Amino acid sequence: MRLRCAVLDDFQNAATELADWSPLADDVEVVPFTTHFPDEDTLAAALADFDIVVTLRERVPFPASLFARLPRLKLLIASGMRNTVIDYAAAEAHGVTVCGTASSSTPPVELTWALLLGLARGLVRENNALRSGGPWQSTVGADLHGRRLGLLGLGKIGSRVARVGIAFGMHVTAWSQNLTKEYADEVGVQLAASKEELLTESDFVSVHLALSDRTRGLLGAPELALLKPTAYLINTSRAAIVDQDALLTALHEGRIAGAGVDVFDIEPLPADHPMRTAPRLLATPHLGYVSRANYATYYGQAVEDIRAYLAGAPVRRLP
């Protein structure tokens, strides 16, 4: 009898289009799910008859309580090689092998700049006006050349965002708790003396930090109050790094010029969530990693992970 494999959150029906699952045809039945399961009860019921689950990034938590409700589950594959919402000890206790895949940092870099440029030049507002017969030119764009780009985090993604900013002729500064002057010099950016200095002096601030106990709530109301009223905030990292209520207040009160956000405290975002209607906000539904090349990697390597597991030699094991 063939094993059953569930592919979660395949919203675009991309999993079977962008990867070749045929090598598994004799051994595995692949079932994509195109809608999100909003709670553990519905998820556990949907996955009860599956031996393998492929989950997308960190959208679906796999706590000990869920593993206990899925006795048939033997293999869990998460896209990417870092996942903070899987209880690995519980997986081991229930005999579940957990594997990952590669993930490119290029798509989130590109989306960061899409949001930043879209905000700076009022693209959504101008496009909507043009298509609806509205006013011809209703905004005056913010310049990038000669302005200051402040980066919170200068890792794989932040350093690439920095190089694009330099190419635009921006003055780029960076700060994080462990960032050294030597590495900042290597990337070609200025090390900010403090988080507060970076926030106070930047025209654009972009967040590129991993979520941890140290970064959770890093930007709260006091920090957002340091931003210039003409400044823009971009967050394609993790929602919890920025206090969501404080950000909403800043947007509604016009304390900052705008924000570009790709990550939220709840995903998918409920229809009545205040982020959907906030002013001065350019928001996307967590598209940072969503690109054809990245999905081809995720699902192509998921097939490899399953084949290796079936051969008794799992690869890319997590954690």
Active site residue 286: yes
What 3 state SS string does the chain have?
Answer: CCEEEEECCCCCCCCCCCCCCHHHCCCEEEEECCCCCCCHHHHHHHHCCCCEEEECCCCCCECHHHHHCCCCCCEEEECCCCCCCECHHHHHHCCCEEEECCCCCHHHHHHHHHHHHHHHCCHHHHHHHHHCCCCCCCCCCCCCCCCEEEEECCCHHHHHHHHHHHHCCCEEEEECCCCCHHHHHHHCCEECCCHHHHHHHCCEEEECCCCCCCCCCCECHHHHCCCCCCCEEEECCCHHHECHHHHHHHHHCCCCCEEEECCCCCCCCCCCCHHHCCCCEEECCCCCCCCHHHHHHHHHHHHHHHHHHHCCCCCCECC
What the block records as the tokens of 215 is: 């970064």
Active site residue 238: yes
Active site residue 252: no
Give me the catalytic one of 57, 148, 238, 255.
Answer: 238
Give me the catalytic one of 267, 273, 280, 304.
Answer: 267
Query: Which residues face 206 on adjacent strands?
Result: 151, 234
- Show the CA angle centred on residue 187, arms to residues 183 and 191, nearest 5°: 60
Torsion of CA 159, 107, 165, 148, to 10 degrees: -90
Give me the catalytic one of 57, 148, 160, 286.
Answer: 286
Active-site residue numbers?
A: 238, 267, 286
